Amino acid sequence: MNIYYKFNSFLIILISILLLISLSAAAEEDFTAAELLISASELNEKLEAGSENLKIIDVRSSARYLLGHLPDAAHMWGDDLSAVQGWVPELIPKASAFSELAREKGINNDSEIIIYGEQASPWPARLWFIFKVYAHQDVRILRGGYQAWNREDYETEMLPYNPGEGNFEVSDVKNEWLINSDTIAENLDNDDFLVLDTRTEAEYTGEETNSAAPRKGRIPGSIHLEWSAVLDEEGNYKSAAEISRIFQEAGVTRDKEVIAILSHNGVRAAHTFFTLRLLDYNNIKLYDEAWVGWSNRSDLPVEMN
């Protein structure tokens, strides 16, 4: 009888642990727009099924790409994701240039696009944002990045992938996802207009600045929430509930008319934009001219601690 009781107690404890693990995993997946992400196992199933429309893009450095990448993954990096020429360095590429690049990478208008990078990198969100601004709907990000793929010991390749030319062409632009310096300046006293700065604390307070930005500081009245605040120590997303709480406590709320998101050059801001889209925020815009653009405009005010 005693042995039977101990076995039942052990079984109850084991079931409870498994239930807690299951509930925790469910919480992590509880994003309103979870379809913007794809797991390593889901992507592997698609590769094994041999989907012709599937296009995978690696946005890590060239060196890391050559050390190993997902099967048939094209590579984009650096200047591929920015306009090389322009009054602000690193704006998103012009539609014509991006169309040409996408075709070179074998991407078609009807391609199902999966983007991945390092586990805690904002670059996949940057490319996701560019595709979405240029109205390509079927694009997702690999949850956990290359590290998640490696942990499952799925197949990788080392030789560069050279696809045939695709037919991708930008046919529309979602300008409503972008905002410029003048519009922000006109709304500095608007309580329904929020400027969210996703740079580091040192950049926000004016202790530091980066290249191409001659002035230190921040946009007056902006609030600060570093882009990586939504990630855990391993670089994975925290639970949807916790991320929602982080944004709410920072004042990033759905009742604002506009939430304009900025970073130094738009890359980290794109990660925050993507995260808010996972939570189905619809009042967000990316300030692509970024701190570099604001800093270079001597007619625009700057605030420092």
For 30-55, write each residue's pLDDT tens digit. 899 999 999 999 999 999 999 889 99
Fold agreement (34-151, 175-296): yes
* 8 A C-beta contact, residue 294 and residue 300: yes
Residue 4 has pLDDT above 90, yes or no: no
Residue 305 has pLDDT above 90, yes or no: no
Range 119-127 average pLDDT: 96
Mean of pLDDT over the chain: 91
Identify any residues that bridge with 255 across adjacent strands, giving them in sequence order.
Answer: none
Q: Which sequence spans correspond to the domains of the chain?
A: 34-151, 175-296
Rounded to 5 degrees, what are φ and ψ at 125? -65, -35
Could you read off the pLDDT of 133-151 as tens digits, one per residue? Answer: 999 999 999 999 999 999 9
Q: Round to whole Å and give the CA distance between 89 and 36.
A: 28
DSSP 181: H
CATH classification (class only), 34-151: alpha beta
0.85 surpassed by pTM: yes
- Three-state DSSP state, 273: helix
Pairing of strands 193-197, 73-75: unpaired
Return all residues near 59 (Cβ < 8 A) that are at least 6 apart.
Answer: 75, 76, 77, 81, 115, 116, 117, 121, 123, 124, 126, 127
* 8 A C-beta contact, residue 249 and residue 223: no
Q: How confident is the model at residue 22 (pLDDT cuts 50, 70, 90)?
A: very low
Q: Does domain 175-296 have CATH number 3.90.870.10?
A: no
Q: How confident is the model at residue 12 (pLDDT cuts 50, 70, 90)?
A: low
Range 188-211 average pLDDT: 95
Residue 20 has pLDDT above 50, yes or no: no
